[in-house]
Amino acid sequence: MNKINTFCIVDDDDIFQFTTSVLLKKTDLVNKIIVFSNGLKAINFLKDEMGNKENIPDVLFLDINMPVMDGWEFLEEYLLIKPMMPKTVVIYMVSSSVDEKDILKAKSISALSGYLVKPISSQNIMEVILGILN
């Protein structure tokens, strides 16, 4: 079966980073997991690695509320560099927010593939992975 090469988690919550990484590893469908604690670190990584397609994540889980650069600010920056990206990054907003404004805003951003509400389960992760691999 195919695997996702690189899965990226952008979230300032250490527990979410850890549990999501464990759930991803258990699927045995992800080769590499990279983690950033805020949007600025993630966007700088993408800009720095733009010439190296292998290092660009295939999937990115993005939190809304983070210090330094939040998820919305990350998306603004990402949309500016997206045309220069060597491949498509599948981005899911992952948040504890069930605020209808956040959900509607996420749906209005073409770069987002979906909105997942925390806590996410192994079933959520499998649905995302299988949706990408199939």
* Domains identified in the chain, total number: 1
Is 86 inside any structural domain? Answer: yes
The answer to whether residue 112 sits within a structural domain is yes
- Enumerate the β-bridge partners of residue 9: 35, 61
Is residue 131 a part of any domain in this protein?
no
Helix, coil or strand: residue 7 = strand
1 confidence band (pLDDT: 50, 70, 90): low
Residue 13 within a domain: yes
Q: Residue 91 pairs with which residues in a beta bridge?
A: 60, 112
Q: What is the pLDDT of residues 9-38, one digit of tens each?
A: 999 999 999 999 999 999 999 999 999 999
**125 falls within a domain:** no
Residue 16 lies inside a defined structural domain of this protein: yes
Q: Supply the pTM of this predicted model.
A: 0.95
Cβ within 8 Å of residue 81, ≥6 positions away: 43, 46, 47, 50
CB 22 within 8 A of CB 28: no
Instruction: Tell me the pLDDT tens digit for each residue of 82-100.
Output: 999 999 999 999 999 899 9
Residue 6, token pair as written in the block: 């690189």
Q: Answer yes or no: is 99 within a domain.
A: yes
Which amino acid, 53? Answer: K
Q: Domain residues for 33? A: 6-116
Q: Which CATH number covers residue 41?
A: 3.40.50.2300
Q: What is the pLDDT of residues 44-70, one digit of tens each?
A: 999 999 999 999 999 999 999 999 999
What one-letter code names the amino acid at 40?
Answer: L
